[in-house]
Amino acid sequence: MPLIIPKDLIVEEVLERENIFTMRDSCASKQDIRPLSIAIVNLMPKKEETELQLLRMLSNTALQINIDLVRMESYNPSNSDIKRLKAFYKTYEDIKNNKYDAMIITGAPIETIAYEKIKYWEELKTIFEFAKENVYSTMFICWSAQAALYHYYNIEHKVSKEKIFGVFEFDKLKENKIIKGFDDTFLVPTSRHTYVDVEDFEDFPDLEVIAARPDTGVSLVTTKDDRFIFNFGHWEYDKYTLHDEYIRDISQGKKINPPQNYYEDNDPKKEIKIRWKSAGNLFFSNWLNYCVYQETPFAIETIEGKSVSKFGGSSLKDAGQFAKVKKIIFSKEDRDVIVVSAPGRRFSKDTKITDELISLSDKNLKIDELDKIIKSLEEELSVQIVYRDTQLKKIKNRFLSIAEDLKLEEFWKDELQFVFEEIENSVDKEFIVSRGEYLNAKLLSKYLNYDFVDAKDIIIFDSEGKVDIEKSRKAIKKHIGENKKVVVPGFYGSDNNGDIVTFTRGGSDYTGSLIAYALDSKVYENWTDVNGIMTSDPNQDPNAKTIDKLNFKELKEIIDKGAQVYQGDAIKPVEEKNITIKILNTNNPKNHGTIIKD
């Protein structure tokens, strides 16, 4: 109850900050006392259990309260005694001419059913409209809170992946007289499959979210004048209510986790801890005292309706409907808060604008994603083209420098320029990698005035990627033969389709060995930048010496130890015909080098 204190004894700001509720003596002297009139619209299947729970909460006050129990006339629940309902419950027809200080509309286990498919939805909408006009403050509990938000504000609920089940802790998001005296955090029993996101209230300045969590959605919402209280929890629940629900769901074969933060150590076999009753009693007491008793007029028949008018999409589907809505709004002076939906269907095959916008949003998102991908690819393409052109120019200048120094510029322009156009436009790695040997062989053949024989015409690979020795031998004989002066690029050949195939690095050794083998050469000279095969790496050991002679077995042993002196596969062709291999130094041609022969 409020304290009656002299005016200006304590400044208003301090009273408000300290949560001290007061009434001026001038008001108290004029105040009459009368019982509050409260209607309970009981939608729960177990009517008697819900009655006891709510009446217990309402009795924890010094106020006198008259209760009317209300049922749905359009639906008879199977779990309730019809005779008892008719004896103790009223219908809308019985109360439609009444005024109430307060009304409670309970939840119902039908939250996953579309509102329009609920058997008593039309009757419940009538009661919602009745509450707006004839009740000073209405509390909607759990499902009815969601249904009322949908009806008054067109706010949709969402279905949770798992049942929101247990006793959840909430923080006060803002101060409000309905949670006056609450701790900063408080507990709320909750049992539902649906939720409403806090973001859905951003466009409704009349609504204040008092408590919410990301995993449960909102828990407590009020209108700014506290005429509507949307309570998503169940402070009225008894000790065993959640337990009984859990056992019922398990017995029906439903997959469900035990209610959270309810049993000791969250173990259904252990004791149940009641930790919500103090907050629940204070919540109902605050509602009756601050939102009802202290606000509702003494002459209950003078209660003014809460004007919130919602027009659905079908009511605003075209200009003609807009004109009708305007006429309706202006027909009463108190229609100040208007809530509207997007245009609905104009005919059976028409589409709701919201559905169109959802589809449009999806397309915009996809377009944005693709646009970002395209822009990213375009940027990457530009970068790669710059890198490619820079590298291509570097390689081209290298060969052009050789050609210019050899006075072969004209030959370069006439015969070799197009090779770089092929490289630029090709995605064949084997072809591109082979062009180093190709261009060098072209330049050398021109410089020597020798014929050029392309390796792809004489080194043939089989379908397994191995050199076909016999086919290659015949091709070498055909294109080179005896007493012919030619230059051949190493490192590559071709498959049966004529596509370029490269050896592993060092494959030019193999090319030379195959040609020596095919032509029955006496000697195969392999020129490099060292004086033959050395006893150690001359770049690291200044005392390294040339090995004068080796047999093929010794050469293999050196190669097997990791010395990169000769390509291993290139030994077999020359070894088969005991062709002498000479490893010689291009920069020191007078040095005898290393001779390899059995």
Which residues in the chain come in under a pLDDT of 50?
1-6, 8-11, 14-15, 17-23, 25-26, 28-31
Q: Considering the entire predicted model, what is its pTM?
A: 0.51
Which residue among 51, 236, 437, 575 is the active-site one? 236
Decide if 470 is catalytic: no
Helix runs in 256-408, H state only: 277-286, 319-330, 353-405
Q: How far apart are CA 206 and CA 225, in angstroms?
A: 8
What pLDDT shows up at residue 137?
A: 94
Q: Would you state the pLDDT for residue 334?
A: 65
The predicted pLDDT at position 83 comes to 86
C-alpha to C-alpha distance for 51 and 45, rounded to whole angstroms: 11
Q: Which residue intervals of 406-480 are DSSP H helices?
A: 409-411, 417-425, 429-448, 469-479
- pLDDT at site 32: 54
Q: Tell me, yes or no, if 151 is annotated catalytic.
A: no
**What's the pLDDT score for residue 16?**
56
The three-state (H, E, C) secondary structure of 252-269, written as one string: CCCCCCCCECCEHHHCCC
Of 51, 111, 142, 575, which is the active-site residue? 142
Residue indicated by tokens 């003494």? 298
pLDDT at residue 195, rounded to an integer: 96
24 pairs with which residues across the strands?
5
- d(CA 377, CA 424) in angstroms, rounded, equals 19
For residue 162, give the 3-state DSSP assignment: strand
Please indicate whether residue 236 is annotated as part of the active site.
yes
Query: Could you tell me which residues come within 8 angstroms of residue 119 by beta carbon, excluding any fewer than 6 positions away?
Result: 74, 75
CB distance 2 to 22 below 8 Å: yes
The pLDDT of residue 569 is 72
Which residues have a Cβ under 8 Å from the Cβ of 425 and sit 6 or more positions away? none
